[in-house]
Amino acid sequence: MNDVRSMNHAGRNELTQEFNLLAEHAERLLNATATMSGEGIAAAREGLVQSIASVRDNIGSANRYARERARQAVANADSYVREKPWQSVAVGFVAGLVLGMVARMRTA
């Protein structure tokens, strides 16, 4: 659970850093193919492969985090509606009324 919470702000920064590193390795690989020997190309490719794997892992973690947050939101909403059905109906009615008024003002 701690891992899920830490993904919020720090996770986005980490993903940004990973993407920047991936771009750096890709640039090195492109430069290496033009000017370096076979060993330099192999090292640049290895760095690129590692960066891609790292980015994939982080994207997977971000995806899992988003899914978990969505599940929690649905569970919380479901729990609230079950505990307070009349308040939920009232909130839905008021929201519908406001949206209807806004829509009517736009068409008028």
- What pLDDT digit, counting tens, does each position of 62-100 carry? 888 888 999 999 999 999 889 999 998 999 999 999 999
| pLDDT tens, position by position, 9-20 | 666 677 777 777
- Distance, CA of 74 to CA of 69 (rounded, Å): 9
- Distance, CA of 82 to CA of 59 (rounded, Å): 34
Query: What are the residue boundaries of the structural domains of the chain, listed by start?
Result: 2-83
